[in-house]
A and B are shown apart, each in its own frame.
Chain A
Amino acid sequence: MSTVETERTPAYLTTLPGDDVRQIMWRFADRYDLQMLVQSSRTVARGPVARVVAEGGRNTHEWSAAKQSLLQAYDDAGLTTLSVEPEYGGFITGPKNMAMALAAFELAWVDGGAATSSLATHLALAPIHEKGTAEQCSKYMGGCVPPRPGENRPHLRGAFALTEPIPFAGVQTRSLAGKVRVEAWNEGEEPLLRVEKRGRFITNMDFANFVTAAVDSDDERIKGSCMVILEEGDPGTFDRGAATRKLVHQLSSTRDPIFNMVVPASRIIGGYTIQDGVIVPNVDHNEVIRAVFRRTRVTVGLMTAAKLVSAIEPVIRYHRNRFRGGPSETPGSPRYELGLQQKEDVLHRLIEVWATGEASASLGFATARFFDDFDPLDHRREEIFETHEIPEGRAGLRALNQVIPQAVEFVELSGRPAAVRDGARYEELAGDELIEFLVGDALANVLCPACKLWNTGHGATMMREAVSLMGGYGITEDCPGFLGQKWMDAQLEATYEGPEAVQRRQLSLTMTNEIFLAQFGQWILELRRIAGRRPGTGACTLASAMELWLWTIRRLQKAKDADGKALYGDKRQGVTFPLADALCWLLASRFQILDVLELEEKTAGSEGEEATEAMQGLVHFFSDLAHTQAARAAGEVDRICTDLLYGYNRHPHWDSEYAFPRGDLESLETVMPGIAACSERDAIDEDGSHAPKAGPCVRFAGMETFQALRAKLGGCGTGSGLAKDRAAHALANVMIPEAQDYPA
């Protein structure tokens, strides 16, 4: 008897991923506080915020009643208290990076300005949260909680004032023009300080009643720089200034304020001591900024990621419905049912937008989670350094350098299976908090700028692609999903809280940290293992691209250009910046693959056959999306590394040692048979003529490994086109809601 096996089509994408899927991929399935926060943020975003945008609320620079009404909506939804500790009236315990990231993602799904507006209060509170005294935390964090019915107290709303240069005024962003002096200092009383600060591009300034401002000492009785808290009622000038005429993020308030106020010294964030008659702030402004931006930049990166993912549904709907309603389009015909989705190009391009959105969301949320994990240790930095007797300044750096080899050893041991590594040594290193801190710090210093740089910079480029997929509709106010506005908003996200050049510069310094590079090496091995058990995710392609990048950076760190100048250095931004860009592609793709694996693992036992199959379908689709993105990342890395490694060598000329007089070649042929044939095209005839080309061909001594890695990488892209085809085909079949769930 013969049996006939019917081949069953593997499950694939049937509907757009819902909350249950995202909670698993972004690892908050066990955090009910975060799940509720997502729902709250979404209600505000797709309700009041979307209505204000649809009604043209963005079409003015001024702070309107409609924009003001959104503050109440944020309050009602609990978004205002997001960063506040429970003891002061907040509702989320522990680090809040993931919470801020999710709220920003949901708000920016509709409007980036709304996300910025909602989060700016947290930015104002962040210096106090990170470094403030207990009294400052109590007063300002508690004050930012909306008063309950019957509670008679002012509701504090803050602004964060760091940016200050006026265009063309010759002021550098790294120096502070804001000044603080001693106004009065009576015996036995607290000193009074005069603070002068001109802010620029300061968010929330239309309604903020307190400001955390960065200032430098202009008085020998105050040491260094600090951040101070200014209140609207303090004596002096609290001028909100002119509204910034920005073209983007119009739902956030932005003005250029002027402050000239007298405040008690207790407003110095983190407090102060008096040493030899000098006020010494406990924390200088750089420390505060470092602690604040390290976290908030991740949130900005996720705002652009949300834009990309939010574009998928409106674009699919537009493409499908493109020809419906026409006189000759009948239901059931391909033109009626699929519209523009009949064309491969639009499907492929949308897959690239979606893959980028997924990769940037994966990178952003992974970074936010990382900071949630790292925060407790990071906040104990000074205590850990003290325990290990690490001094301040250069001596401290020297002392830390002594520990780096142990940290590298720990990273390498961590990557090995427990059964084969030196368990005792591993335990010894794992128990050392300084090593743990250094490893975390090395990752933080790469992940944060990478997320901000790639998500916003490349995200803005891909947002343009999404807009183009809507045709002329895309650049109208009527475009569903507000895609045109999102495209422009993305440009601001690439700029504020440190523009792309700042992120690239930071990466060019931090990505050569030996601890990070050791971790990077472990990630390559990890991806190979993943590829072994789970082919089809692009893990192998990505691992090959990472090997190429690692080889390149090692080479460039030692290499010199044709003029003998070192290639890798602070001033060689033509080298370091592209290499930083390449790294970002790799990191985003890695986290995307890990998220797919997480979904696969956690949904293996979904309740019910239908649910299991649907989840498996999503896993297959997301695998193809990850594979597509990995191939794209590999292509970028290949291009950048090749440009950098070859581009700084000078091409040989016909009068160089690489060109052979034909007569010499013929003589050599007698002792080295075959050389004439090999070098034929590099030969110069007696009359000086030569083959029609720029010069003798380039020799590649020392580049054999690179060429082998590159050749291998090209082959590693095998199958990525098929993955893209499958994913694109699914777009023409996926079920989407009948209408968008927010107005347009």
Chain B
Amino acid sequence: MAGFHIVVCGGMVPDPLQSLEPVVGPDGPALKNEAMLPMVLDPWAAHSLYEAAHLAAHAPGSKVWLVSLGPKARLQQLMMSIAQKVSFELVALDGAAGGFSDAYEIARALAEAIEGIPDLDRTRLLLFGGCASAARDAGVTMSMVAERLGLTEQFLGVDMLETDGDRLRIKERVEGGRYRISECDAPPAMLAWATGTLPIPPNNPQLGMQNMRSIMPALARAKSIPLGSGDVAFGAVERPVQRRETRVVKDMPPEDIAREIVAWMREG
């Protein structure tokens, strides 16, 4: 077994704790104060990165690349925490990351970047990413990247991957709160991850220093990707309506709390 060549596609999104306010800027829709918002690695993509690193650690000869599209300066900030978690080589693309870019354009840029990775063995390729992004939630980007790369084995909403040599056993979410388990003889394949099963790895500064040796040059040579909303017109953007109905209750069983919340949501 020669291991896997795992390419993870992972973008950045605003920290979910931030209040996001859509505005219309000179280049189309954007987020208010987007340039100053703290960013995190897209949560679903982050899970796929941790799964990739775990798989690589247990499959000798494997290697992990992280292909990430976002404003270069913000990517650099993001790498200060991501680089400490797992070992990978960065392929950076310099472009917008506000959540208003079209999935097709992003997929094209990612696929081209992956095609340009030297030493990537496409026969050993496992393409990883999030099943959707926290910014746009389009849920189609990974499939588009896979199609462009000619990967026909595609799995969406993956929560678990087991390997036996080259053989892949994949557990993916399907409708109705159920799982489907598939088997795939060998790579290449695309796995768009849901949450996976692994915890967030602790930070390891030594690993971070090691990763930074390749990350900084990668950021320096990041290709600029012009992304716009293209022909897509956004009629309106608005924040979800918030409702707040506070009630102080003591000693209520969790089942009753859950029942009440569900009833409240159905009312809404």
Contacts and interface: CB of A to CB of B under 8 A. Distances in A.
Asked if A and B are interacting partners, one says: yes
Contacts of A635: none
A736 interface: yes
A712 to B, nearest CB: 39
**Chain B CB within 10 Å, residue with most, of A36, A37, A738:** A36
Interface in A587-644: 606-608, 610-611, 614
Contacts of A735: 18-19, 21, 32-33
Given A15-B37, A737-B15, A91 B205 contact: yes
A505 B202 CA distance: 44
Given A43-B81, A614-B35, A607 B71 contact: yes
Interface string A713-744: 00000000000000000000001111111000
Interface string B199-213: 000111110110010
A40 B84 contact: yes
B182 interface: no
B205 A33 contact: yes
A700 interface: no
A549 B95 CA distance: 53
A404 interface: no
B149 interface: no
Nearest to B80: A35
Interface in B1-24: 15, 17-19, 21
A78 B34 CA distance: 32
B257 interface: no
B246 to A, nearest CB: 5
A77 B202 contact: yes
A238 to B, nearest CB: 32
Nearest to A325: B246
Contacts of B17: 737-741
A356 to B, nearest CB: 23
A33 B73 CA distance: 17
A495 interface: no
B77 interface: yes
A37 B84 CA distance: 9
B38 interface: yes
B32 to A, nearest CB: 7
A39 B36 contact: no
Interface string A323-349: 011000000000000000000000000
A325 B244 CA distance: 7
Interface in A532-556: none
A287 interface: no
A512 interface: no
Interface string A70-92: 00010011100100000000010
A168 interface: no
Nearest to A37: B205
Contacts of B84: 36, 39-40, 78
Nearest to A93: B209
A525 interface: no
**Chain B CB within 10 Å, residue with most, of A14, A39, A606, A739:** A39
Contacts of B72: 607
A737 B18 contact: yes
**Chain B CB within 10 Å, residue with most, of A14, A32, A76, A81:** A32
Contacts, number: 97
A97 to B, nearest CB: 17
A14 B246 contact: no
B45 interface: no
Given A15-B36, A76-B202, A325-B244, A38 B80 contact: yes
A590 B21 CA distance: 37
A36 B209 contact: yes
B23 to A, nearest CB: 11
A607 B70 CA distance: 13
Nearest to B241: A331
Contact of A91 (B21, B73, B209): B209
Nearest to B213: A32
A497 B209 CA distance: 32
Interface residues of A, number: 35
Contacts of B19: 735-738
B83 interface: yes
Given A32-B216, A39-B203, A607 B209 contact: no
A71 to B, nearest CB: 13
A18 B38 contact: yes
A739 B16 CA distance: 9
A43 B203 contact: yes
Given A610-B34, A614-B36, A736-B19, A20 B80 contact: no
Contacts of B80: 19, 32, 35-36, 38-39
Contacts of B15: 737, 741
B209 A32 contact: yes
Contacts of A614: 33, 35-36
B81 to A, nearest CB: 4
A32 B216 CA distance: 10
A608 B205 contact: no
A606 B17 CA distance: 25
Nearest to A36: B208
A38 B71 CA distance: 21
Given A36-B81, A739-B17, A15 B205 contact: no
Contacts of B209: 32-33, 36, 91
Interface in A1-41: 14-15, 18-20, 32-33, 35-40
A81 B205 CA distance: 10
B18 A738 contact: yes
A78 B207 CA distance: 10
A36 B205 contact: yes
Contacts of B34: 610
B54 to A, nearest CB: 15
Nearest to B81: A39
A611 B35 contact: yes
A608 B244 contact: no
A38 to B, nearest CB: 7
A608 B35 contact: yes
A607 B77 CA distance: 14
A122 to B, nearest CB: 15
A19 B73 contact: no
A738 B17 CA distance: 5
**Chain A CB within 10 Å, residue with most, of B15, B18, B212, B244:** B18
B36 A607 contact: no
B71 A20 contact: no
Contacts of B216: 32
B202 A18 contact: no
Nearest to A44: B203
Contacts of B81: 36, 39-40, 43
B244 A14 contact: no
A612 to B, nearest CB: 9
A25 to B, nearest CB: 15
A37 to B, nearest CB: 6
Contacts of B71: 607-608, 611
Nearest to B94: A607
B25 to A, nearest CB: 8
Nearest to A38: B80
Contact of A32 (B32, B206, B212): B212
Contact of A15 (B33, B83, B203): B33
23 contacts: A18-B77, A19-B38, A32-B80, A32-B216, A33-B205, A36-B83, A36-B208, A39-B81, A39-B203, A40-B81, A40-B84, A40-B205, A77-B203, A78-B84, A78-B205, A91-B206, A324-B244, A610-B25, A611-B35, A611-B36, A736-B19, A737-B19, A741-B17
Interface of A: 14-15, 18-20, 32-33, 35-40, 43, 73, 76-78, 81, 91, 324-325, 606-608, 610-611, 614, 735-741
Given A40-B205, A43-B203, A735-B32, 4 more contacts: A14-B33, A36-B81, A43-B81, A91-B205
Interface of B: 15, 17-19, 21, 25, 32-38, 71-73, 77, 80-81, 83-84, 202-206, 208-209, 212, 216, 244, 246
The 5 closest A-B pairs by CB, nearest first: A78-B205, A76-B202, A39-B81, A40-B203, A611-B35
